Amino acid sequence: MRRGPIHDDDDDHHDAAVARKGRVVTATGGWPELIRCTTTTPPPSRLPPILLDELIEEILLRIPARSLVRLRDRICSSWRTLISSSQFAKQHLRRSTTVDPTLTPPLIAYYCIGYACPTIGVFSVPSPVENPPHEPTKVVPYKGRRPRSIIDSCNGLLCLYNVERDDGGLRHGAMLWNPCIGSTSQPVEIGGPLSVSGFGYDHVNDKYKLFGRVYKKSGEYVSRIITFGPNITWRTIEDFSCSMPSPHGTFSLVSSVGIFVNGTGTLNWIFHDCFRYVVVRSLDLVKETYNQFPLPDRDLDDDCFMSPHLCILRGCLAACYENKRTHWTVWLMKEYGVPQSWTKLVVIPHHPLLVNPLAGSPLQPIYIFKNNVLLAKAPNHKFVLLNLNDGSIDFPNIDSSNDGMPKLRPLSKGLSSRNFQLCHESLVSPSHLGLQSCSSEMRLVKPSL
């Protein structure tokens, strides 16, 4: 069954002719989407202007990743070579994350944590905001050969964790997958189950790394960093303890998966104690050392304590607190690692449709759109759109009927038994890292007729 990117069904067609080295191509849509190529030279009187290779590349860098994947396989070999190259993928990623963040919209990938299901569902993040209520956001399912979970994502790559049984017992492995281009790496042996993990990018050494606190058969834990490359290596570092001393007792780990902050090369975890003191412990993937810093102070008279949610918003480390059982406060760390740079982004009042005193979970921001709409997981176990300008809320219509998880309730009715991961589309391929690809690992599930 064919693998490939998530299909975009809303292509507009506005013809414009472009030529490159005697090839006539047609550009369509708001972006120059090229769909035809011929080497036939037209009569001299009708020759279009010739575009230089450098200009062609500049044009392609301004096209969304999913459109470039279609161009890669439908135009000429020189374009396929360019779009498939690691250098072009890095340039496109840099542009889409720094120069024009709206160029490639993010995705949400999710898997089932309630039972063994080999399917991963993916849908576009802007779609719930842009679609009218009668046009639900469609989930695109990908299917693998065995159950998997998602550790984290970075630069369009998702790090998947899987467990297999063979004659020697259970084998624990990790693999990289880019759902936009449909490329998957062969699984990498981890050596045991993970109790704490994180995946990120070492921007100094241009390396993707997986951190894992691995439980060994001897009953001990060992903390390792696995570096993905032609020769996959792992290095044992100082052990990551799930508890550490606090001024009033002991700090305990809140979530086992570290939050990666791009540009800093760090993974971040929240620790808290019974006296409501909260700190962030970080792992520097470049130096492979630990550090820690405090979160914003809480009001002394605040009797509501729920561990804050750590996430990434607008490219910065962010934390969402519930305060005094009346509102949530979202903070941004404008300068990473500097506690004085915590800045209050927004205060969100409690809403009757959001609050669930029995849920025991905080409001979890996912993504902020430029029109100040926040997509979040609410304590009522639903996705919610919060308009930060007028305070209105809406529950997006997400059609998960074909996600291959029939035992779960539809996403429009609840998010329970699912784990979600934000992922930005990119052209970065595991093959760019020197990893051997595996074409049969993850593939699109074609809808039944």
One domain for residues 66 and 145:
no
Q: What is the pLDDT of residue 89?
A: 95
pLDDT at 109 over 80: yes
Q: For residue range 284-332, list pLDDT tens digits in order.
A: 999 999 999 999 877 666 666 677 899 999 999 999 988 777 888 999 9
Same domain, 134 and 198: yes
The per-residue pLDDT for 10 is 42
Q: What is the pLDDT of residues 2-30, one digit of tens each?
A: 344 444 444 443 333 333 333 333 333 44
> Does 59 map to a domain?
yes
Give residue 275's pLDDT. Answer: 60
Highest mean pLDDT among 25-29, 254-258, 273-277, 433-437: 254-258
**% residues pLDDT > 90 (the chain):** 39
On whether residue 8 sits in a domain, the answer given is no
- Considering the domain boundaries, does residue 44 fall inside one? no
**pLDDT at position 203:** 94
38 CB-near residues (< 8 Å, 6+ apart): 23, 24
**Does 341 lie in the same domain as 275?**
yes
CA distance 222 to 87: 35
Asked whether 295 and 320 are in contact (CB, 8 A), the reply is no
Kindly tell me the sign of the dihedral angle through the C-alpha atoms of 310, 312, 317, 322: negative
CATH number at residue 438: 2.120.10
Give 409-447 pLDDT, tens digit per residue: 888 888 888 889 999 999 999 999 988 877 556 776 654
Least confident interval from 105-119, 146-160, 310-324:
105-119
Asked whether residue 232 is domain-assigned, the answer is: yes
Average pLDDT over residues 80-101: 90
- Is residue 65 domain-shared with residue 207, that is, in the same domain? no
**pLDDT of 249 higher than 50:** yes
- Pairing between strand 137-138 and 398-399? parallel
Among candidate residues 66, 99, 132, the one where a domain is terminated:
99
From CA 273, how far away is CA 254, in angstroms rounded? Answer: 10
Residues 281 and 354 occupy one common structural domain: yes
pLDDT of residue 8: 44
The pLDDT value given to residue 374: 87
- Name beta bridge partners: 123: 108
Say yes or no: 440 and 402 in one domain. Answer: yes
What backbone phi and psi angles, to 5 degrees, belong to 71? -65, -40
Higher-confidence residue of 353 and 148: namely 353
Residue 66 shares a structural domain with residue 135? no
Which pLDDT score, from 0 to 100, does residue 144 have?
A: 76
**Domain for residue 370, yes or no?**
yes
Q: What share of the chain is helix, strand, coil (3-state, %, to 5)?
A: 15, 40, 45
Same domain, yes or no, for 162 and 304?
Answer: yes
Tell me, yes or no, whether 5 lies in a domain.
Answer: no
Neighbours of 406 (CB within 10 A): 9
Picking from 70, 99, 128, the residue at the C-terminal end of a domain is 99
Residue 115 above 90 pLDDT? no
Q: ∠ CA 425-430-431 to the nearest 5 degrees?
A: 125
- Distance (Å) of CA 361 to CA 27, 71, 349, 373: 48, 43, 16, 21
Looking at the structure, do residues 409 and 335 belong to the same domain, yes or no? yes
> What mean pLDDT, rounded, does the chain reach?
82
pLDDT, residue 162, reads 84
Lowest average pLDDT, out of 162-176, 192-206, 378-392, goes to 162-176
For the purposes of burial, counting CB atoms within 10 Å of the CB of 221, is it exposed (0-12), middle (13-18) or buried (19 or more)? middle
Domain boundaries, position 85: 53-99
Q: Indicate the pTM of the whole model.
A: 0.84
pLDDT > 70: what percent of the chain? 82
Nearest to 383 by CA among 422, 344, 345, 349: 422
For residue 97, the model assigns a pLDDT of: 86
* Residue 170 maps to a domain: yes
Average pLDDT over residues 201-219: 93
**Are 237 and 145 members of one domain?**
yes
Query: Alpha-carbon distance 261 to 318, whole Å?
Result: 10
Position 43 scores a pLDDT of: 53
pLDDT at residue 24, rounded to an integer = 35
For 332-363, write each residue's pLDDT tens digit.
999 999 999 999 999 998 888 887 766 667 88
Number of compact structural domains in the chain: 2
Is residue 266 located within the same domain as residue 156?
yes
Q: Is the pLDDT of residue 132 over 90?
A: no
Of 78, 99, 120, which residue is a domain's last? 99
One domain for residues 295 and 209: yes
Establish if 230 belongs to a structural domain: yes
